[in-house]
Amino acid sequence: MVYENPDGIRIGLEIHVQLNKLKTKMFCGCSSDYHNAAPNTHTCPICLGLPGTLPVLNKKAVEAAIKVGLALEGEIAEETQFHRKNYFYPDLPKGFQVTQYDFPIVGKGKVVIEGEDGEHVVGITRAHMEEDPGKLVHIGSIEKSKGVLIDYNRSGMPLIETVTEPDMRSPKEARRFLDKFRNILEYLDVFDGNLEGAMRVDANVSVHWGTRVEVKNISSHKGVERALLYEIMRQKNVIRRGGKITLETRHFDEGRGVTISMRTKEEAEDYRYFREPDLMPMRVTDWIPAIRETLPELPDAKRARFIEQYGITDMHAKALTSKIMLADFHESICAQGVDPKIAATWTADVLLGELNYRDLVIGADVQGYAIICYNQKNPDIVRHIRVNDMVELVTFFAEGKISDRAAVEVIRSILDSKEEKTPLQIIEERGLLKAESDLVTMAVEETIAENEAAVQDYLGGAEKSLNFLVGQVMKKTKGTADAKTARELILKELKG
Amino acid sequence: MITKEDVEHIGWLARIEISEQETVEYMEKLNSVLEYFGQLDELPTEDVVPTYHVAEIYNVFREDIVEECLPQETVLANTEYKQDGTFRVPKIG
Amino acid sequence: MAKWMSVAQVKEKIIEDSAEEVTARYLEVIGKSKVNGYTKVSEKALEHARRIDSEGHDGPLAGVPIAIKDNISVVGLPNSCGSKILEGYVPPFNAHVIEKLLSAGAVILGKTNMDEFAMGSSTETSYFGPTANPWDLERVPGGSSGGSAAVVAAGEAPFALGSDTGGSVRCPAAFCGVVGLKPTYGAVSRYGVVAYANSLEQVGPLANNVADIAILMDVIAGYDGRDSTSIDSKIEYQKALVDDVKGLKIGVPKEFFGEGIHPDVEKAVWNAIHKYESLGATWEEVSMPNIKYALASYYIIAMSEASSNLARFDGTRYGFRESGENWHAMVSKTRAEGFGTEVKRRILLGTYALSAGYHDKYYLKALKVRTLVKQDFDKALAKVDLLMAPTMPNPAFKIGEKIEDPLTLYLSDVNTCPINLAGVPSVSVPCGLTDGLPIGLQIMGKPFDEPTVLRAAYTFEQNTDYHTKRPPEVA
Ligand SMILES: [Mg+2]
Ligand SMILES: [Zn+2]
């Protein structure tokens, strides 16, 4: 099947990603760990752009950019350098942004996504390094602002801006690209997507192969899909009414779910790019082999291996590799000798579903020991899910000691309580072991199935045979069953 | 030659308010300087590589090591326009 | 206490009396100043000197006072750059060179006047009013480090720091009859020095004699990890102070003796060259055909970089702010009111030179011409050890004489700005007087060959007495 793209949709993305796994900012030694800090406490003369200060580039930022470039199968530039992008905005303390212009560190590359018609290649145009501006808070709304408050804690955070070709043919593909892209970045350990403002997306979209419109600064993957759906509908309506799409920049109003015109191309800024004279050019291609060595197994490769190695379904493999910490978690569980298929079901289907339902995200892990999840809306809610607990739970279930429902209850209980209990403790406290009567019933069923002759004898009138059958049940249950109950159950079974 | 409109445009790009009267003054003075700069046109430079920097240095980096930040009071010490630890400015547009 | 002392003499005086007394004496002279060389005299200088007396200090400049150009950041002192737009701004950090000076034990007397944002050759465009030339109070001291040169010449500081983007140390050194060095690009960290044109400028010392320049360079030069353009040259400057130029080859670029040069300046410079010849050096004329394009190239590059560097002065975080109905209007009004006319002109020209459609015609062209100018230096300096020429084609002009016409003022940098394009070191030393006004000899060398440049300057000084001449007005 080939996707026809009936509306001639082309979507390209520009994605700003904070390299927030680095300890310090792009050009100064300020800590990058500002997300819960008071305003303007993570700043220094350099990231405040005080007169006389100079930037010095964080080596790790360059290594991270190369890592990203390699993961995107991009060309790493022989020589690369920084430029100044000159414009005035209150979040920009120097009156220019240090960015890369005609010599980006990463050139053409590609990412394969699950497209409308199977595997679909999205071209990467380029990826470059730049610094983040500060953060603005409008007093009142943007439209009716009474003033603006500026916090420069974010100023100077290292960013990678990735530009794609307009290769996506539907909002769904755009969303899939972003999911995949985020996944890759997290695998590379350069990026924590859970932090606020960690990923910001500008989307270019056109219909009927026409003029493109840029929708700026969308902060979530869901937002991108919604913004694009709206924008495509709007453009189609304009054309249907005989109007023309003009080259413009629009802003996505997350609350109302609509895009609003910001400026047309005629009012476009003239950024007067020129080389940043305070930074020297770089020749870093000889770093590539060593960095390539550090590249982890990427999501696609890991997914294929999971299917192969664990014999699990593609759906499970996909879910388990959607986060590297989850994939490691699964591997640690399997390493303890439990059935990989059962483990996959309980992690991918049940655990992930329950986490999602509670807005819990995997924020960290202690490899081989646990994943650490926290609530996205209330980061104080933290849960540790231990490898050993999953192993215990899966084993109980596999041995038939607990029911499906009971196992789910154990997981829920772990996620809902801050007390750290093992599955065994929870099972005992709540009496979740398959109830006695269940065990007796099982023993009864087995006894009847195994003792055809005695059953026939009893049905033929030999009362004594019933005693034999009760004895067999008592034996199977190692004497734990109540003889009277066993007798009643046998009778019920034989008569029913 | 710079026109009055050019002066207005670059005044906007540079965020320098220029009055009607100043526009004409600037136009004249800037044009006399630009005319002087125009002498470079007589020098053929097609095959010349531009010199951005005399020092041919590559690969200057710092390590990813955290250094101390400024205290918030110090950051805000040079302005009277502040609120709750932030800088306060008028609405943007 | 003598009014003009070398650093060695100051140090003797400190041992004899105390750092406090020496500083107090300089403060007294400053108090009677007729030149308006300081924008701010430090209220902590005396206390600092006293502390050095009581606690002792083993640095090479223990207790020695120094004046600092007002674009070099010093904690606790305003950093005005001679501009209204930085009104009230006090940096919370020290420039690299200030850290070096403080750890050497120097006492900072105060900040010196300058052309606004170092954009000028006369120190007339300062928000704090013009500085006068100590040799003739009706004349300019040169610029943009006019304050630093004037206070040294007037005995208000033994030495000073300036900055040189297109001649801003050497021009005032020549006009005020003192020594001023523009080091090789990369020799001195720019960290903490407010940028005018990043790819061109260096901090440079001004002093009454070459030895003091070397002392200061030994303190301030060297690698700094906070300036990506910093280079560790490991030069020992004082070791270069040898009275010997035998066998030295001097090149005289005829392009530096162009039209409009004052005959006395030309004569004085040739006298100096002949003096070197008599001391065992040889000279030859060299040709640097692209020098005549250097000025235009220099100004385009400087203005372009400046238009971006000065964008941060928007009234948002520090300094002067004008009110406006929205942020953009506030910024436009703040910059209209906060910057002086010459600064605004340069920002506008720089903005234009970088703008869409003009970038290649002006900015890129200027960078290519820069290559040609640099090649001229490379070729000339391949043949000779040093180049010698007048620092300024004319002696100090009258205050107000050139300020109205920017181009005329720009033309006074004709002999100094090529050096910044090439990034080579250059020193200006006094080599005569005309009508009671000093003349400067400019000695240029190969990159990081300050030792030869300083050796030549030192030898000249040891064998002439121009550097002992003092301005009559304030003597
Ligand atoms: Mg960007
Ligand atoms: Zn910082």
Q: What is the ipTM of this complex?
A: 0.97
Only one residue has tokens 């910057």, namely C339
Give the closest residue to A225 by CA, choosing from A273, A266, A173. Answer: A173
pLDDT band at residue A463, thresholds of 50, 70 and 90?
confident
Cis omega before residue C144 (within 30°)? yes
Q: Is B54 on the interface with A (CB under 8 A)?
A: no
From chain A, the residues in CB contact with B76 under 8 A are 40
From chain A, the residues in CB contact with B65 under 8 A are 23-24, 29
Q: Which helix (H) or strand (E) holds A416?
A: helix A404-416
Whether residue A450 has pLDDT greater than 80: yes
pLDDT band at residue A120, thresholds of 50, 70 and 90?
very high
Give the closest residue to A412 by CA, choosing from A365, A326, A350. Answer: A350
Sign of the CA dihedral C350, C355, C357, C359? positive
pLDDT of residue A496: 63
- Name subunits touching B (3+ CB pairs < 8 A): A, C
Q: Stretch C47-67: mean pLDDT, rounded?
A: 98
pLDDT band at residue A440, thresholds of 50, 70 and 90?
confident
Indicate the average pLDDT of chain C.
97
Q: How far is B6 from chain A (nearest CA, A)?
A: 13
Whether residue A331 has pLDDT greater than 60: yes
- Name subunits touching C (3+ CB pairs < 8 A): A, B
How far, in Å, are A183, A296, C454, C466 from residue C179 at the CA level?
A: 63, 61, 11, 11
Parts of chain B with a pLDDT under 70: none
Tens digit of pLDDT for each residue in A238-293?
999 999 998 889 999 888 889 998 876 556 679 999 999 999 999 999 999 999 99
Domains of chain A: 10-291 (no CATH), 299-430 (no CATH), 437-495 (1.10.10.410)
Give the closest residue to C95 by CA, choosing from C68, C123, C74. Answer: C74
C164 beta partners: C202
Nearest CA in chain C to B13: C351
**A93 and C73: CB-CB below 8 Å?**
no
CB-based contact A127:A72 (threshold 8 Å): yes
- Domain assignments of chain B as residue spans, ordered by start: 1-65
Tens digit of pLDDT for each residue in C273-329?
999 999 999 999 999 999 999 999 999 999 999 999 999 999 999 999 999 999 999
**Angle at the Cα of C381 from the Cα atoms of C375 and C386, rounded to 5 degrees:** 140
pLDDT band at residue A436, thresholds of 50, 70 and 90?
low
Q: Stretch A130-140: mean pLDDT, rounded?
A: 94
CB-based contact C288:C255 (threshold 8 Å): yes
From chain A, the residues in CB contact with B71 under 8 A are 41
From chain A, the residues in CB contact with B57 under 8 A are 280
- Is C73 part of the annotated catalytic residue set? no
pLDDT of residue C444: 98
CB-based contact C162:C168 (threshold 8 Å): yes
In terms of pLDDT, which residue wins out, A1 or A156? A156
Q: Is B58 on the interface with C (CB under 8 A)?
A: no
CA distance A264 to A28: 36
pTM (2 d.p.): 0.91
**Among the ranges given (A120-124, A360-364, C417-421), the one the predictor scored with the smallest mean pLDDT:** A360-364
Sign of the CA dihedral A478, A482, A488, A492? negative
- Is C379 part of the annotated catalytic residue set? no
CA distance C61 to C218: 11
Whether residue C475 has pLDDT greater than 70: no
- Is C69 part of the annotated catalytic residue set? yes
A59 closest CB neighbour out of B61, B75, B84: B61
Whether residue A480 has pLDDT greater than 70: no
**Chain C contacts in chain A segment 37-76 (CB below 8 A):** 45, 48-57
Indicate the average pLDDT of chain A.
92
CA distance C146 to C181: 14
Structure tokens, B37: 């700069």
B66 closest CB neighbour out of A31, A90, A150: A31
Percent of chain A having pLDDT more than 90?
A: 71
Nearest CA in chain C to A91: C316
Q: Ligand 2 centre from A24 Cα, in Å? A: 8
Q: How would you class C380 by CB atoms within 10 Å of its CB: exposed for 0-12, middle for 13-18, buried for 19 or more?
A: buried
pLDDT of residue C307: 98
C210 beta partners: none
Q: How far is B45 from chain C (nearest CA, A)?
A: 6
A135 beta partners: A151
Class assignment of domain B1-65?
Answer: mainly alpha
**C368 and B90: CB-CB below 8 Å?**
no
Class assignment of domain C7-288+375-474?
Answer: alpha beta
* Residue of A54, A57, A275 for testing the chain C interface, max C β-carbons within 10 Å: A54
From the candidates C73, C144, C297, C307, give the one annotated as an active-site residue: C144
- Domain assignments of chain C as residue spans, ordered by start: 7-288+375-474
Q: Ligand 2 centre from C105 Cα, in Å? A: 29
3-state percent breakdown (helix, strand, coil) of chain C, nearest 5: 40, 15, 45
Order of strands, sheet of A135-139, starting from the edge strand that comes earlier in the sequence = A135-139, A147-151, B86-89, B82-83
**Among the ranges given (A378-382, C128-132, C373-377), the one the predictor scored with the smallest mean pLDDT:** A378-382
Tens digit of pLDDT for each residue in A54-97?
999 999 999 999 999 999 999 999 999 999 999 999 999 999 99
Q: Stretch C24-52: mean pLDDT, rounded?
A: 97
Write b or e for each residue in C61-76: b if 16 or more Cβ atoms lie within 10 A of its Cβ, otherwise e. bbbbbbbbbbbbbbee
pLDDT band at residue C166, thresholds of 50, 70 and 90?
very high
pLDDT of residue B55: 85
pLDDT of residue C473: 65
Q: Ligand 1 centre from A83 Cα, in Å? A: 12
B51 closest CB neighbour out of C225, C324, C371: C371
**Among the ranges given (A165-174, A223-232, A469-478), the one the predictor scored with the smallest mean pLDDT:** A469-478
Tens digit of pLDDT for each residue in C406-418?
888 899 999 999 9
Q: Stretch C244-267: mean pLDDT, rounded?
A: 96
Structure tokens, A26: 């792009």
From chain C, the residues in CB contact with A90 under 8 A are 314, 316, 327
How far, in Å, are A218, A235, B18, C143, C186 from residue C83 at the CA level?
A: 41, 51, 18, 15, 27
**B65 and A280: CB-CB below 8 Å?**
no
Q: Tell me the angle at which helices A387-398 and A404-416 cross, rounded to the nearest 10 degrees.
A: 160
**B52 and A38: CB-CB below 8 Å?**
no
Give the closest residue to A154 by CA, choosing from A109, A197, A97. Answer: A197
Whether residue C213 has pLDDT greater than 90: yes
- Give the number of the ligand closest to the Cα of residue A54: 2
Percent of chain C having pLDDT more than 90?
A: 96
pLDDT of residue A476: 80
How far, in Å, are A313, A346, A348, C29, C176 from residue A316 at the CA level?
A: 5, 10, 6, 85, 82
pLDDT of residue A492: 84
Look up residue C441 and give its DSSP letter. Answer: E
User: How many residues does this entry show for chain A?
Assistant: 496
**B79 and C336: CB-CB below 8 Å?**
no
CA distance A69 to A292: 10
How far, in Å, are A273, A275, B73, C216 from residue A86 at the CA level?
A: 7, 11, 29, 37
Percent of chain A having pLDDT more than 70?
A: 97
Q: Is B62 on the interface with A (CB under 8 A)?
A: yes
Whether residue A479 has pLDDT greater than 80: no
Q: What is the DSSP string of C25-87?
A: HHHHHHHT-SS--EEEE-TTHHHHHHHHHHH---STTTT-EEEEETTB--TTS---TT-GGGT
Tens digit of pLDDT for each residue in A375-408?
988 888 999 999 999 999 999 888 878 888 889 9
**B16 and C348: CB-CB below 8 Å?**
yes
